[in-house]
A and B are shown apart, each in its own frame.
Chain A
Amino acid sequence: MSQPLLQVSDLTVHHGQLRALNQVSLTIGAGEVQAMIGANGAGKSTLLRTISGLKAATSGTITFDGADVARLRAERRVAAGIVMVPEGRRLFPSLTVEENLQVGASYARKGPWSIERVYELFGWMPGRRRQLAAQLSGGEQQAVAIGRALVANPRLLLLDELSLGLAPVVVARIYDTLPELLASGVTVLLVEQDVSQALRVASRVHCLLEGRITLQGEPSRLSPADIEAAYFGLSSARREPAPNPGSGE
């Protein structure tokens, strides 16, 4: 790995007076899957929204493939290869499934993904291409949202809370598509409240608490107790046996 694909350094972001992110730094190499975990309001979504360009940073740098993208607007970052699947899926409800994908492909970079390839990835989709996005179930909408991001041919795919509001079996089915995405050369940074899911797929996890990274490392080297402490902000002296954070969500 000559240079990292994404390097975030000392990123600080405010929501009005509130400091949502405080000096956050992380590095992602091409082809990796990294995960952000943390409680509600820890700043995970803010981090993804800042990397994607929807939210402006107060200070810090965001370097993508060697170039500073912190001043670029969101649509320019898509052209550079940073594409986000937003929290809550955010499909265009009055457009059909196919039209949603076509919008995603409007400003696509060259690459392996196309609407046909997305249809191969999600076999049920072609049969319902003419249906309005608003009429799909949550899991189906999530799949279309992923497809809409893929057809833009991202180099870095930001996945915000894929599991939100979905049944575990549906979540598992969506995460099952991850290997195929990675095989196509996509790098993934995901935010997940479902900690066990994040630990299962990520090569490196970061735990955010009140806007700071309190823990980072490879999942195999982190003990549940460490994660729990970082997740809830318990100091090691006060730590007590508590339920597994993975099932506690």
Chain B
Amino acid sequence: MIWVNDIIQGVLLGGLYALFACGLSLLFGVMKVINLAHGDLAIVAGYLAVGVIALTHIPAVWSFIIVVPLFAALGYLVQRTLIQASLNRGVLTTLLVTFGLSVVIENALQQFFSANSRSIGIGSLVSDSFSIGSQITIAYLDLVIFVVAVIVLLGLQYLLSSSRQGRLIRAVADDREAAQLSGADYRHVFGIAAGIAFATVALAGIAYGMYTSFDPSSGTTALLLLFAFEAVVIGGLGSLWGTLVGGILLGVVQQLGAQINSNDQVLAGQLLFLLILLVLPQGITSIRRTA
């Protein structure tokens, strides 16, 4: 039974990873930008939520109503200025610029908020749980985060496949010149895609701040970026469903690793990642595509 519990905990943890990863997956899928500041942006969202809660006194769980739209606007702005300017200079430049952004964000947070760790206080919700049988305990927060992740991925999938804006995003991802010839300003479409990606990373950052405490350097030291990357690669680049599957697999394997030895949690995840790279370099979703 203990294994069943581990698998359930792993699936729930995987939801958080997938929530982190979907913005990364979207940015790469649409404009081939690998955003090395992704983890740090999530932490910025966490701090922003802390600030919003302190200023407005709204219940912590509702802070996303303010933070997510702010981040979407920020995403559009950052895309239209910084990222577009670096895109015009080549793919390597975007890598360097987002790496620089990551360093700038960490140091700016350090400057303004000190190195003390914070968390988004949600009272007893953080530890409330329910039990199934004697061995399985599920925290409400974990379950809520998992459900949010699934809703976000479903919503993104629907947006991309069925809305006018999603169609334009896919068209620009396929061939931006041809999209221009259909009257679409690809810079604007990129901006919208970045806005969506930033909105999801804000949700992930808030979820993470409720889940555990964070400090200015958590974006890199807590391995958020690494896990997000692994979820994307395990699932298959550019596939949102793959990202969900990748996040869940990573979460489950990490939990099982931790069960063997509590030091082995991260190691088990990395071994899965290497194994996938070795046998299925196109990711899990490539199985269905070739079948």
Spell out A's residues near B (CB within 8 Å).
52-54, 73-75, 78-79, 83-84, 86, 90-95, 99-100, 102-104, 106-108, 148-149, 152
Contact = CB atoms under 8 A, between A and B. Distances in A.
B184 A75 contact: yes
Contacts of A152: 182-183
Contact of A86 (B164, B168, B178): B178
Contacts, number: 71
Contacts of A94: 170, 173-174
Contact of A95 (B164, B174, B180, B181): B174
A86 B177 CA distance: 9
Chief secondary structure at chain B's binding surface: helix
Interface of B: 164, 167-168, 170-171, 173-175, 177-185
Closest 9 CB pairs between A and B? A107-B183, A78-B183, A92-B174, A90-B178, A74-B180, A103-B171, A92-B171, A104-B182, A75-B185
A148 B171 CA distance: 12
Nearest to B183: A107
A190 to B, nearest CB: 15
Contacts of A79: 183
Nearest to B177: A54
Contacts of B164: 102, 106
A87 B164 CA distance: 26
Given A75-B183, A95-B171, 14 more contacts: A52-B181, A74-B181, A75-B180, A75-B184, A78-B183, A86-B178, A90-B175, A92-B170, A92-B171, A94-B173, A102-B164, A106-B168, A107-B182, A149-B181
Contacts of A53: 180
A191 B177 CA distance: 19
Given A78-B183, A152-B182, A152-B183, A103 B168 contact: yes
A18 to B, nearest CB: 20
Nearest to A84: B181
A27 B171 CA distance: 33
Contacts of B170: 92, 94-95, 99
A106 B189 CA distance: 13
A63 B181 CA distance: 18
